[in-house]
Amino acid sequence: MKAPRYRLLHAIFCFSCTLFVTACEKALSPTSSLEIATKGLHAAAISEKGHLIIAGSIYHGGSLWQVQSEERVFNWNHANGELSTIIAADFSGNGQWGLTADPATIVLWNTETGEGYRYWTAPGEILDAELGPGATSAFLGLSDHSAVLFDIQQGGIKKTFKHSNRVRSVDLSENGQLGITGSEDYTATLWDMRTGKAITRLKHNDDVQLVKLSNDGAIALSVSKYDAALLWQARTGEIIGEIPLKAEHLKRGLSFTAAQFSDDNNFLLTGRPDQIVQLWQLPELVEIERWQLPKRDKWKPTSAAVIAVAFSDIPQQFYAIGANGFIHQLETKTPNSMPGVLSQ
């Protein structure tokens, strides 16, 4: 009586293994990896061309790295003799300036000299930070239910953008005229940074944990906890599409933790909490490549979220940083005739 049941379970097990192997075979591995933190990272940022990295290490504080030379060139901490807990970082468009933020302070750094150029006490607990064009301002998401445009050169708040709960994520268009905020009040809001007025407000069904604008401010991505990852026309709020997480039958809570648009708005690079990086073709939202980032210890049941992604200045090459302390170089197997404009 036990044999048929055993054969059934064995068949189910083999079928499950086949599905697992097939899924793994679809994901590419990085072409190279570089350790930038021995245990892990709170936050990280990659410069526009992928040449520089700001690393907010769990045990070693902040630092600036050069990717090509694989060298840690400067230690960036907010107080002498102390290791700062860097929770957000960003670069200026030309890579000349870097911004680091711990929950209470922000520092503007010169990436060529490594010197701290400006140091400020934040107007509230910082949850996210974005450096504005020309490194004249910083867009800060705060726990006091607001986001602020902060004058990082002279100090002080230029404008305040109100929500009814904590602001978890912020981003700016390349020219700094548009900003987007994601809040635990379940909304993603596009703002006119010159007037301080809301242009579009999109309602989700849970906390909005990640927002991203294309460089020209035309397209927005908003990702909410346990709900949806929506791509939409920024100025009208018209939904372009939903990135199909549910279609993959992923476990509850899996979402996106990093995203970057290509300069021409034809592609979107995303990172997930389960070490998966995906390249999407827009506006169809067709996945054209995916990569599986390696674990620090492949024998331990641990994972590491993807906390930063970037397009390279080399076509069909990309970068991704995992919370376990590695930056990975990725390459697509897509034929060269497909996206010859993947570089930024």
User: What's the confidence (pLDDT) of residue 295?
Assistant: 84
- Is the residue at 343 inside a domain? yes
User: What's the confidence (pLDDT) of residue 3?
Assistant: 41
Provide the residue range defining the domain that includes 280: 266-344
Q: Provide the token pair at 164.
A: 């009814």
- Is the residue at 277 inside a domain? yes
Residuewise pLDDT in 10s, the chain (344 residues): 334 433 433 443 343 333 333 344 489 999 999 999 988 999 999 998 889 999 999 999 999 999 999 999 999 999 988 999 999 999 999 999 999 999 999 999 999 999 999 999 999 999 999 999 999 999 999 999 999 999 999 999 999 999 999 999 999 999 999 999 999 999 999 999 999 999 999 999 999 999 999 999 999 999 998 778 999 999 999 999 998 655 444 445 568 999 999 999 999 999 999 999 999 999 999 999 999 999 876 655 566 899 999 999 998 999 999 999 999 999 998 764 344 444 33
User: What's the confidence (pLDDT) of residue 302?
Assistant: 63
> Which residues are within 8 A (CB) of 85 and not within 5 positions of it... i.e. 6 or more apart?
42, 56, 61, 102, 103
DSSP state for residue 163 in the 8-state scheme: -
Selection from 141, 105, 129, 118 nearest residue 54 by Cα: 129
**Cα(268)–Cα(279) distance, rounded to whole angstroms?**
6
DSSP state for residue 25 in the 8-state scheme: H
DSSP state for residue 248 in the 8-state scheme: G
Contact 90, 45 (CB under 8 A): yes
**Cα(109)–Cα(136) distance, rounded to whole angstroms?**
12
Q: Which burial class, exposed, middle or buried, applies to 126 when counting CB atoms under 10 A from its CB (0-12, 13-18, 19+)?
A: buried
User: What's the confidence (pLDDT) of residue 230?
Assistant: 95
- Is the residue at 316 inside a domain? yes
pTM of the model: 0.87
- Is the residue at 295 inside a domain? yes
- Is the residue at 141 inside a domain? no
- Is the residue at 288 inside a domain? yes
- Is the residue at 189 inside a domain? no
What is the residue type of 3?
A
Total domains in the fold of the chain: 1
CA distances from 35 to 41, 56, 76, 84, 327 (A): 11, 13, 18, 19, 7
What is the residue type of 136?
T
- Is the residue at 86 inside a domain? no
Task: Please count the other Cβ atoms lying within 10 Å of the Cβ belonging to residue 275.
Answer: 22
Contact 180, 220 (CB under 8 A): yes
Q: What does 125-144 look like in DSSP terms, one character per residue?
A: -EEEEEEPGGGSEEEEEETT
